[in-house]
Amino acid sequence: MPELPEVEVTRLSFAQRIAGARIEGVEMGKPLRWPLGCDPQDLRGQRVLGVRRRGKYLLLDLERGLLLLHLGMSGSVTFGADPGPAGKHDHFSLRTSLGVLRLNDPRRFGAVVFAADEHSPEAQKLLGKLGVEPLGDDFVLEDFCKALKKRNAPIKQVLLAGETVVGVGNIYASEALFLAGIRPTTRASRLSRPRAARLHTAVRQVLARAVEKGGSTLRDFSNAQGESGHFQLEAAVYGRAGLPCRVCGSVVRTIRQGQRSTFFCPVCQKP
């Protein structure tokens, strides 16, 4: 489910509320993508200092070490008053003095991993190859252009890979490419500088807008307070195959790229 906007919206919905909480207990459900990497009971007694985000990871800073949370395709986090017994798809619960943090993830592509610190091998295994943050100052046009020049793959897949810029998933890749007027199949290395510049702007714009709208709720995403997002209502192409393009009226098309659906307007988006 979650791309950068959904992860950031999740973070914003509980970071302040959990700060300073004392961990009282940890309960695990079925195995997630990776093992926790420590004895769950070792976390007891520690305080949660704050919550950061890196790409699509949430970083829960503890007094000693940190927890890296990834929501995979179907994960969502809740934090609040004791929600009662864990349900079928609740696979990680952190009981704290200020409420219960819970990861619900039906498909279990998500993960919760402990690392002694951000630069440890365990953390770097997950974070080490990530590209720059699209909403931060490090997302520099010049660097972006240079990076694209080195990639021969279709631009959609370069965005999804997250090694150039992080956080752009299947929805926002299609949306950003629409905004930039670029066909998703265009090879990254073939993009002219002006077109790469349009994409650079489009990526920032679409992600920032999606955060403002609370993310996209396609079926079941909600933030840590249980609230849905609304960006999907203004998506230009994602999920709109067969419908008229909002700009030119042409029929929005869908293709498969790397086992994922891609949506685009054949007139607004040039190869």
Report residue 189 as tokens: 């290395």
Report residue 62 as tokens: 């503890």
- Please report how close the Cβ of residue 96 comes to DNA at its closest, in angstroms: 26
In terms of DSSP bridges, do strands 111-115 and 99-104 run parallel, antiparallel, or are they unpaired?
Answer: unpaired
**Spatial distance between the Cα atoms of 28 and 20, rounded to a whole number of angstroms:** 22
Phi, psi of 134 (to 5 degrees): -65, -25
Name which position in 78, 170, 223, 269 contacts DNA (CB under 7 A): 170
Residue 134 is among the residues annotated as catalytic for this protein: no
Name which position in 81, 84, 88, 233 contacts DNA (CB under 7 A): 88
Report CA-CA distances (Å) from 92 to 13, 37, 43, 111, 190: 18, 13, 13, 9, 44
Sign, Cα dihedral of 59, 165, 105, 121: negative
Residue 56 is among the residues annotated as catalytic for this protein: yes
Q: Which stretch binds DNA (CB under 7 A): 37-45, 59-67, 107-115, 190-198?
A: 107-115
Of 2, 134, 154, 184, which one is the catalytic site residue?
2
Helix (H) or strand (E) run with residue 95 in it: strand 90-96
CB 207 within 8 A of CB 231: no
Name which position in 53, 91, 102, 108 contacts DNA (CB under 7 A): 108
Binding residues for DNA restricted to 122-161, rule: CB under 7 A = 126, 129, 151-154, 157-158, 160-161
Residue 13 in contact with DNA, rule: CB under 7 A: no
Residue 2 in contact with DNA, rule: CB under 7 A: yes
Binding residues for DNA restricted to 205-264, rule: CB under 7 A = 215-221, 229, 258-261
CB-CB neighbours of 31 under 10 Å: 11
User: How would you label 47-84 residue by residue, b for 16+ Cβ within 10 Å and e otherwise?
Assistant: bbebbebbbbbbbbbbeebbbbbbbbebbbbbbbeeee
- Please report how close the Cβ of residue 250 comes to DNA at its closest, in angstroms: 20
- Please report how close the Cβ of residue 221 comes to DNA at its closest, in angstroms: 3
Residue 260 is among the residues annotated as catalytic for this protein: yes
**Spatial distance between the Cα atoms of 169 and 67, rounded to a whole number of angstroms:** 22
Name which position in 11, 15, 36, 55 contacts DNA (CB under 7 A): 55
Of 24, 133, 260, 266, which one is the catalytic site residue?
260
Residue 3 is among the residues annotated as catalytic for this protein: yes
Residue 29 in contact with DNA, rule: CB under 7 A: no
Name which position in 65, 131, 169, 184 contacts DNA (CB under 7 A): 169
Residue 148, C-beta contacts closer than 8 angstroms, at least 6 positions apart:
155, 158, 164, 188, 189, 191, 196
- Please report how close the Cβ of residue 215 comes to DNA at its closest, in angstroms: 6
- Please report how close the Cβ of residue 24 comes to DNA at its closest, in angstroms: 28
Q: Which residues bind DNA (CB under 7 A)?
A: 1-3, 6, 30, 33, 55-56, 70, 72-74, 88-89, 106-109, 126, 129, 151-154, 157-158, 160-162, 169-171, 215-221, 229, 258-261
